[in-house]
Amino acid sequence: MLRPIKPGSTIAVIAPAFPPDAQKLAQGIHYLKDLGYHIIEGQSLTASEKYFAGSDALRADEINRCFADAQVDAVFCARGGWGTLRYLDKLDYQTIRQNPKALVGYSDITTLQLAIWQKAQVPSVSGPMVAVEMGSGILPFTEQHFWGQIQNDAPEYTFQFDCHSEVEVWHKGTARGALVGGCLSMVAHQLGTPYMPDVTGSILFLEDVGEAPYKIDRYLAQLYQAGIFERINGLVLGQFIDCEDDTPSRAHVTVRDILQDYFGRVSFPVVFNFPYGHGMRKFSMPVGVKAELAADACVLTVENPFFH
């Protein structure tokens, strides 16, 4: 179980991938301080090398130190981007396993969360970031379903999602298993490495942003050929934002078309357009925790990784 995060807890804010916008970062840190949290600002927040927030060694060492530091209760990422896959071999997974605490973020942070679950069996939270949602006026829905899980005193968190005007149920049924997933392109890139978790019996969740339909097709084909979809118990398809193609010969094909190619006739429960992804309005998804997807009832129930 993860270390509890309550007002008064200490949160380390870091930039494991790209550098954050300075103004949004300041606003996000102010937001957390207003909620009563103590903040430790990582070196990566102001570091720079190539297009990264510091060197691979700096960013990896910072993560290791955050988990080793007994004063730090949780690690919140400022933003995503690209670059965490470069240094997965530099992380101290034994220290992470011995000091379980929440790593919060999404997008490229998916890579870290999957690796930490695979190597250390420590869950994390795919949720809002400090220099993105928290630094831009976080929406009430996002806030509710992030802090509602973080500060939950019950053993489970239940989310009744909207199947009337938002989420589509593509295949009914009930699935149980560990929640595993995140940004589709990052999941696909992790395949074939020692840092990709075994998805057997899991509920897979996927989303992406700014990828043309043919690229989404490419990532899904890779997962399909790797046998991923034969091993999962259920699937949550989140938001696929700005995933269009302006090329005239391809503009008529939508992401929805591609997704239905792969998941329109499967035997496990599937929901589409679940409120999770790169949009400002998002339900936070805990990575590695046990969950139940009741597609017929439009309910996702997740185990509380902070419950003690």
Catalytic residue of the set 278, 284, 292, 303: 278
278 is catalytic: yes
207 is catalytic: yes
Three-state SS string over the chain comes to CCCCCCCCCEEEEECCCCCCCHHHHHHHHHHHHHCCCEEEECHHHCCCECCECCCHHHHHHHHHHHHHCCCCCEEEECCCCCCHHHHHHHCCHHHHHHCCCEEEECCCHHHHHHHHHHHHCCCEEECCCCCCCCCCCCCHHHHHHHHHHHCCCCCEEEEECCCCCCCEEEECCEEEEEEEEEEHHHHHHHCCCCCCCCCCCCEEEEEEECCCHHHHHHHHHHHHHCCHHHHCCEEEEEEEECCCCCCCCCCCCCHHHHHHHHHCCCCCCEEECCCCCCCCCCCCEEECCEEEEECCCCEEEEECCCCC
Catalytic: which of 44, 107, 126, 202?
107
Whether 292 is catalytic is: no
Please identify which of the residues 207, 211, 292, 303 carries the catalytic annotation: 207
Which residues belong to the active site? Answer: 107, 207, 278
